[in-house]
Amino acid sequence: MGMTMTQKILAAHAGLEQVTAGQLIEADLDLVLGNDITSPVAIKEMEKFNTQSVFDKDKIALVPDHFVPNKDIKSAEHCKCVRNFARKNEITNYFEVGEMGIEHALLPEKGLTVPGDVIIGADSHTCTYGAVGAFSTGIGSTDMAAGMATGKAWFKVPSAIRFVLTGKPAEWVSGKDIILHIIGMIGVDGALYKSMEFTGDGIASLSMDDRFTIANMAIEAGAKNGIFPVDEKTKAYLEEHTKRSYKVYEADEDAEYDETYTIDLSQLKPTVAFPHLPENTKTIDQVGDIAIDQVVIGSCTNGRIDDMRIAAKVLKGRHVAQGIRCIIIPATQAVYLQAMEEGLLKIFIEAGAIVSTPTCGPCLGGYMGILAEGERCVSTTNRNFVGRMGHVDSEIYLASPAVAAASAVTGRISCPCQLK
């Protein structure tokens, strides 16, 4: 029986010729990731081990990004804990203020994630790196501690769902709309502990930023990971960002999938996830008249340069509606700098938006955009659970940067095609 792309990567890292769905394996790790919320827990757990050093200082990445720059004393203490650990262990890949970025945008940008890698991170959206053909998945802080100490982790080999993407998306339809459509179709547990494997000629029309967005939200369907094949766009991205060697894995023709879905990208419309689950989706023509209070454009899902460009295209020559707060957060320092050099930040500010240093802040209800009781926000983030961005009686509508920017202009959930 053939293996899926994910199964081949796991088999290679477990030193096995073959693995099957449900099999328990121990695999070697290429990268272990933690942030300012999860790393302190892992560090305290690691202190209980006999070993006091990491397995490889070059294969650990520590990225304070959730409450950075620090919003209060507690967050400052968390970052101090991570900073001291990084210094003690001479961690090569430690990125804080000045070098910082939102972890899942920063690591690919730094060339730390390549095809064929096995990557674990103490953050659920670690599945982002499947966009470059890696197996990457979120784990708990205890598993992070074990991974940092041993360079290994236990996995149950996942079964897979295949998504065959065909055609080319229409204008204003992006990776965010595609993954929201899929989650709306299969549900938030539709891929529970499975690998979401994307194939088809439609992939060629997706930018790398689209793919990062889609892989990022695989966890919102309950998936263990999401993964894309390595094509010429992937190789061009890697050529620009890394000098690491890598191995490309492809699914066998007789690989077994639990389900196969075919999605014609040309038929998709801009899509919005209503409160309080990512599966509660409506296309833009089904939304109705919904007034909002705030817009957030950023996060590990949609804070890359393509997202900044799309938002600027919508906002150029227009102004944020009276009474609407529009917060734009480039995902990394490099994205911030590029947006500045391209004149995008000027467009944002002239439109009445504010631009923040890279941070996860508002996505998890941390800071930089907390919602009050009864407020509504259109956000390019990945979760719209009750109380996710603030008060339990606030509402979050997940959307693409295009829809978010248009909504900021009208003060209501809107598509750019509806603007004059």
Does one domain contain both 138 and 159? yes
Same domain, 182 and 300: no
pLDDT tops 90 at residue 11:
yes
Same domain, 234 and 169: yes
189 shares its domain with 285:
no
Q: What is the pLDDT of residue 47?
A: 87
Residue 72 domain flag: yes
Regarding whether 296 and 259 lie in a shared domain, the answer is no
On whether residue 217 sits in a domain, the answer given is yes
pLDDT score of 52 more than 80: no
Q: How many CB atoms lie within 10 A of CB 72?
A: 10
Residues 294 and 227 in one domain: no
CA 116 to chain centre: 19
Residues 212 and 286 in one domain: no
Is 367 within a domain?
A: yes
Q: Average pLDDT over the chain, rounded to whole?
A: 95
Q: Contact 170/266 with Cβ under 8 angstroms?
A: yes
Q: What is the CATH number of the domain that holds 362?
A: 3.30.499.10
- pTM of the predicted structure, to 2 decimals: 0.95
Same domain, 231 and 352: no
| pLDDT tens figures, 162-199 | 999 999 999 999 999 999 999 999 999 999 999 999 99
Give me the pLDDT at residue 420, please: 73
- Supply the DSSP string of 140-173, one letter for each residue: -HHHHHHHHHHSEEEEEPP-EEEEEEES-PPTT-
Q: Is 202 found in the same domain as 64? A: yes
Q: Which residue has the higher pLDDT, 363 or 62?
A: 62
Amino acid at 16: L
103 shares its domain with 202: yes
Residue 370 has pLDDT above 80, yes or no: yes
Nearest residue to 375 via CA among 294, 295, 277: 294
Residue 123 lies in a domain: yes
For position 50, what pLDDT does the model report? 79
Confidence of residue 48 (pLDDT cuts 50, 70, 90): confident
Quote the number of domains for the chain.
Answer: 2
Q: Residue 268 falls within a domain, yes or no? A: no
The yes-or-no verdict on residue 97 having pLDDT over 90 is no
Q: Is residue 223 part of a domain?
A: yes
Measured in residues, the chain has a length of: 420
Report residue 126 as tokens: 């670690």
Mean pLDDT to the nearest integer, 379-406: 95
Say how far apart CA 67 and CA 102 lie, in whole Å: 11
Decide: residue 405, CB within 10 A, 0-12 exposed, 13-18 middle, 19+ buried: buried
* Residue 247 is assigned to a structural domain of this protein: no
Same domain, 291 and 259: no
Q: Is the pLDDT of residue 60 over 90?
A: yes
- Decide if pLDDT at 343 tops 90: yes
Average pLDDT over residues 96-104: 90
Residue 328 is part of which domain span?
A: 273-418
